[in-house]
């Protein structure tokens, strides 16, 4: 037998053995996984925390251009208006210096995730030694 025939027969046999249990579905969680990233800068561990996203009207934010050029560039980049941008906060080192405490619900319902992220990071309360 040629390799192609053997491969095809093997593939048919394996797919025929797949049971319905092998095609399960994930349970719906109801919220996005907490967004954080850690990186070391010099001697300091920096934890970047995502508070969520906020929609920004790029045609109003970008200056020294035309609305047509902004629209063309966004379309060519597969980006739709309004552009959802991340709002990030930062924890620095072991002293828990929190830079930017998030926007809460001030900028809309897509933000205010810090409290949940702190819980997922193992911190039951938002307490930092310094904030700015």
Q: Which residues contact 11 (CB under 8 A, 6 or more apart)?
A: none
Q: Residue 18 above 60 pLDDT?
A: no
Least confident segment among 10-14, 37-41, 62-66: 10-14
User: Which CATH code, of 3.60.15.10, 3.40.50.620, 2.60.40.1180, 3.40.190.80, is assigned to 27-131?
Assistant: 3.60.15.10
Please tell me the number of Cα atoms within 13 Å of 27 on its side-chain side.
1
Domain boundary assignment for the chain:
27-131
Tens digits of per-residue pLDDT, 108-129? 777 777 777 766 666 544 554 5
Cis check: omega of the bond before 82, within 30 degrees of 0: yes
The pTM of the whole model exceeds 0.75: no
By the 8 A CB rule, do 89 and 126 touch?
Answer: no
Classify strands 36-41 and 44-56 as parallel, antiparallel or unpaired: antiparallel
Q: Rounded mean pLDDT of the chain?
A: 73
CB count in 10 Å sphere of residue 102:
22
């Amino acid at each position: 037998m040629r390799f192609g025939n053997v491969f095809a027969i093997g593939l048919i046999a394996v797919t025929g053995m797949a049971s319905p249990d092998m095609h399960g579905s994930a349970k719906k969680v109801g919220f996005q996984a907490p967004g954080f990233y850690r990186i070391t800068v010099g001697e300091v561990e920096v934890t970047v925390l995502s508070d969520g996203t906020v929609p920004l009207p790029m045609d109003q934010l970008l200056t020294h251009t035309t609305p047509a050029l902004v629209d063309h560039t966004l379309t060519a980049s597969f980006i739709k208006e309004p552009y959802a941008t991340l709002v990030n906060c930062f924890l620095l080192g072991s002293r828990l210096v929190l830079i930017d405490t998030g926007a809460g619900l001030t900028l809309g319902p897509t933000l205010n995730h810090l409290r949940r992220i702190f819980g997922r990071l193992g911190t039951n309360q938002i307490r930092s030694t310094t904030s700015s």
